[in-house]
Structure formats: C-alpha cells, structure tokens
C-alpha cells in the first residue's frame, strides 16, 4: 500500500511534504522536531483545516471514555502518521506510551497532561491550551495521560514516527505500575491483523 491520505487536502499534503523534508535533512530526531516546530505551530493555529467529521468521539473506543483516534495520514512505510485524538469532556486516556518520537499539540479545548517516569511515578503535570505542543523523544517523556478539562471535547494533533494506532504499545496501571499490552486502534481505519 502507498501513502494513505484519509484527509486528502492541500494543507495536509503540504504539511507532510515539509515534515518529510525536515526529517530527511535532520541529523537526529531532536533536530527534526526542532525543524518541524514552526510548521506544527502553523497547523495548530489554522482553524479551518480539520473537518468536523474528524473531531467526533468514538463510542466504541479501545481507550474507553468515548475517545476517538482519527487517522489523517499514514506513510507507506508506516513510519510517519498524523492523527487527531478526540477526548470528550471529563474523559481521560489510560496512562500510556507511544514508542516513537514526534510532536503532540492541542488544537481545541483544554487538557491536563500528567507525565510519568519508567517506574510509573508521576513526575510532572501541566495544563494545556490550544496552540500548546510538546515533543516526544522516547524514552524521555514517553509515558503520560491526558484528561480533558474543558466543557467542550478536546482535540489534539499527533505527528508520530510509527503507526501509533496499530502498533502494540503499553497501558499502565497507576496503582501497581504494571504494564499491559495496549493497541488503541483508529476510528476510521482497521489494523491489519
Ligand atoms: Fe499520548
């Protein structure tokens, strides 16, 4: 299968082209993230590019709480994805990892993000407003949980260097710190197996 544009618009195609250029030219994931920052900020600031149909919650969510993960773009090699994560008011994700580097930013609503270390101890908590974004460079800051704090659904945009919805990763029990195999899936695309 080739590149998949689930949301096939000039905005998404131009963004992915620029991201691929930045990755190709960068000496490291950290340098690539730095180079992508301005374009990612631009995407978060553009109110018009993400259709309402990609901002709908998912009652059958693999993450619970009506959380929807909408795939927007997936590269042929499955090493780059762009997706929207929809978290209804009051809902929270499980504590989870991503197993890939990339950028995550808030597009709509507000969220609290709690960050955990590898022993599943909470090491940081931050409040996010639209336009805020952060870099994931595993193992640093790879384990977290987000909770919507606004009365409206929150929408965050993820640019990650794996097929995040379909890879098997981990969800963690806060009390015991135990990891369980976790696959979040996408609302609009089935995983292969
Ligand atoms: Fe996450």
pLDDT digits (tens, 9 = 90+) for 32-74: 999 999 999 999 999 999 999 999 999 888 788 899 999 999 9
Averaged pLDDT of the chain: 95
Q: What is the dihedral of CA 59, 60, 65, 66, to 10 degrees?
A: -40
Asked which of 58-62, 99-103, 139-143 is least confident by mean pLDDT, the reply is: 58-62
Phi (first) and psi of residue 179, to 5 degrees: -95, 140
Q: How far is the CA of 146 from the centre of ligand 1 (A)?
A: 7
Q: How far is the CA of 82 from the centre of ligand 1 (A)?
A: 13
Predicted confidence at residue 51, as pLDDT, reads 98
Q: How far is the CA of 144 from the centre of ligand 1 (A)?
A: 6
Q: How far is the CA of 96 from the centre of ligand 1 (A)?
A: 6
Q: How far is the CA of 17 from the centre of ligand 1 (A)?
A: 24
Phi (first) and psi of residue 143, to 5 degrees: -110, 125
Provide the CA 118 distance to its chain's centre, in angstroms. 20
Burial of 89 (0-12, 13-18, 19+ CB in 10 A): middle
Q: How far is the CA of 135 from the centre of ligand 1 (A)?
A: 11
What is the helix (H) or strand (E) element at residue 135, kind and residue range? strand 133-136
What is the helix (H) or strand (E) element at residue 18, kind and residue range? helix 10-25
Q: How far is the CA of 4 from the centre of ligand 1 (A)?
A: 22
Q: How far is the CA of 125 from the centre of ligand 1 (A)?
A: 14
pLDDT tens per residue, range 79-99: 999 999 999 999 999 999 999
DSSP string computed for 39-95 = HHHHHHH-TTSS-GGGG---TT-SSSTT-EEEEEEE-TTSS-EEEEEEE-TT-BPPE
* 59-152-185 Cα angle (round to 5): 35
- Separation of alpha carbons 54 and 7, rounded Å: 9
Complete edge-to-edge strand list for the sheet that includes strand 122-128: 122-128, 111-116, 143-148, 95-96, 169-172, 179-182
Residue 193 is encoded by which pair of tokens? 């197996």
């Amino acid at each position: 299968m080739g590149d998949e544009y689930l949301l096939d618009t000039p905005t998404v195609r131009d963004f992915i082209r620029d991201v691929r250029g930045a990755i190709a030219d960068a000496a490291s994931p950290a340098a690539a993230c730095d180079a992508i920052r301005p374009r990612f900020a631009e995407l978060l600031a553009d109110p018009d590019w993400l259709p309402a149909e990609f901002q709908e919650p998912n009652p059958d969510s693999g993450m619970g709480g009506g959380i929807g993960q909408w795939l927007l773009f997936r590269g042929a090699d499955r090493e780059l994805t762009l997706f929207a994560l929809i978290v209804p008011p009051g809902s929270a994700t499980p504590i989870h990892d991503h197993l890939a580097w990339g950028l995550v930013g808030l597009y709509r609503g507000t969220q609290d993000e709690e960050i955990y270390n590898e022993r599943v101890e909470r090491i940081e908590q931050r409040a996010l407003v639209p336009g805020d974004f952060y870099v994931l460079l595993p193992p640093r800051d790879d384990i977290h949980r987000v909770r919507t704090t606004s009365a409206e659904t929150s929408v965050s945009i993820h640019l990650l260097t794996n097929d995040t919805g379909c890879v098997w990763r981990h969800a963690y029990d806060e009390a015991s710190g135990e990891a369980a195999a976790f696959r979040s899936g996408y609302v609009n695309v089935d995983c292969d197996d």
